[in-house]
Amino acid sequence: MLYHLLYALHTRFSVFNVFRYITFRTIYAGLTAFLICIVLGPMMIRFLSEKQIGQYVRQLGPKSHREKAGTPTMGGLLIMAAIFVSTLLWADLTNFYIWIVLFIGAGFFAIGFYDDYLMQIKKRSCGLSAKGKILLQVLVAFMGGVMLYIYPDFSSKITIPLLKTFSPDLGYSYVLFAVLVIVGTSNAVNLTDGLDGLAIGPVIIAAATYMMFAYVTGHVKIADYLQIHYVAGCGELTILCGAVAGAGLGFLWFNAYPAQIFMGDVGSLPLGALLGAVAVITKQEILMIVVGGVFVVEAVSVILQVGYFKVSGGRRIFKMAPIHHHFELKGWAEPKVIVRFWIVAIMLALLSLSTLKLR
Ligand code: 57M
């Protein structure tokens, strides 16, 4: 909104010319989202505590988690409010991709909110059924995928990392591919959110990475130089990614070990969906496997554990899945697990950025 209000004044006051630059608006979108979380964080924690919206901790988990019971949760309300307000303030609101990503984020926010509402407020121990949650996620992602597919400027080709000339056109099946990326990323982030700061750290790192991907993919000259897909208009997603990273840093201020607040499904589901949607639009969908490598490993550890448990008649590969619990039960202190996962996430992000040159 500020872009529309203030850039128009640049003919009279040249200083407002700065609002045309995506880099400037990205920095301030990040700072705005960060400040919203920092300023409102303590009030949010007090509000959730007063409403007794505290985490129910299942007895199955590591014993060290028992003392976490009652920690205020649904902090995702604050994260998503910061992202939406900051994006609406600093992005070009005539940009189609901004609205598509916000639509998908809002849809997953609603699903996560309803799940948390049932679990934390109505005190139903399991919330939405797994099938119901997945179906709603697929529906929202499908609607987003169809809108992308029918948008005249958007191509249904996908990028294969490291391959410069091979980018297959998926046609109609592009919609299903987009659903897979968005729903998969959303649930992988959700599974990862099992230790203090464990999910929000890699979310910040992935958002910062896709901030760079969105910028170069939306810049005709840089895209041509790097020989990557040019997606006209997707540069505005740089600002949204800046808001996600800023909100994530603001939330991490309170979610850092020992956490004063958890994000809840109302945070993990939409954050993953936002990252998935940006990955799809910037044509770096498959690279999400690398950028979001921590999320992928967490999800795969669960799939392997549950699958092996079934075929082996009750035996386990890991001490407990997702894999962060395995390291906890091996004796790693929680902060050590968290920071080491962040280090891996940073290394994977750097590796993914290197593919822009390795083509
Ligand atoms: C999402 N939720 C955390 C918090 C957060 C199929 C199975 C793998 C499903 C999985 C599951 O239930 N996943 C749900 C993970 C939970 O965090 C809440 O959920 C929100 C995210 N959706 O925002 O509100 C617990 O995580 C801890 N936590 C922190 N700090 C944070 O900043 O310490 C979360 C955020 C919180 C808190 O203790 O209560 C979670 O872990 O449930 N199930 C599991 O992950 C369980 N694994 C398991 O059962 N493994 C089995 C089989 C099924 C694979 C096995 O290995 O044999 C573990 N989780 C729990 N208990 N709670 C272990 C058992």
Digit-coded pLDDT (tens) for 209-261: 999 999 999 999 999 999 898 999 999 999 999 999 999 999 999 999 999 99
Residue linked to tokens 């630059």 = 21
Query: What pLDDT, on a 0 to 100 scale, did the predictor assign at position 198?
Result: 98
Is pLDDT at 58 greater than 80 in this prediction?
Answer: no
Confidence tier at 160 by pLDDT (50, 70, 90): confident
Ligand 1 pocket member 301 (CB < 6 A): no
The secondary element (H helix, E strand) that includes residue 279 is: helix 265-281
| R_g over Cα of the chain | 20
- The boundaries of the domain holding residue 283 are 2-354
Per-residue pLDDT for 91 more than 90?
yes
Tally: H helices and E strands in the chain: 14, 0
pTM of the model: 0.95
Asked whether residue 320 is assigned to any structural domain, the reply reads: yes
DSSP assignment, residue 120? Answer: I
Q: How far is the CA of 268 from the centre of ligand 1 (A)?
A: 12
Task: Say how many domains are in the chain.
Answer: 1
The alpha carbon of 325 and the centre of ligand 1 are apart by a number of angstroms equal to: 9
Question: Which residue minimizes the CA distance to atom 3 of ligand 1?
Answer: 194
Q: What is the largest CA-CA distance in the chain?
A: 75
Taking the CA atoms of residue 200, residue 55, residue 195 and residue 271 in that order, the dihedral angle to the nearest 10 degrees is -20
Q: Which atom of ligand 1 is nearest to the CA of 199?
A: 32
Cβ 147 vs Cβ 280: under 8 Å:
no
Do residues 281 and 97 lie in contact, with contact meaning Cβ atoms separated by under 8 Å?
yes
Query: Quick check: is 359 in a domain?
Result: no
**What are 259's two structure tokens?**
């956490």
In the reported structure, the alpha carbon of residue 194 is separated from the centroid of ligand 1 by a whole-number distance in angstroms of: 5
Ligand 1 pocket member 263 (CB < 6 A): yes
- Residue nearest atom 17 in ligand 1 by C-alpha distance: 194
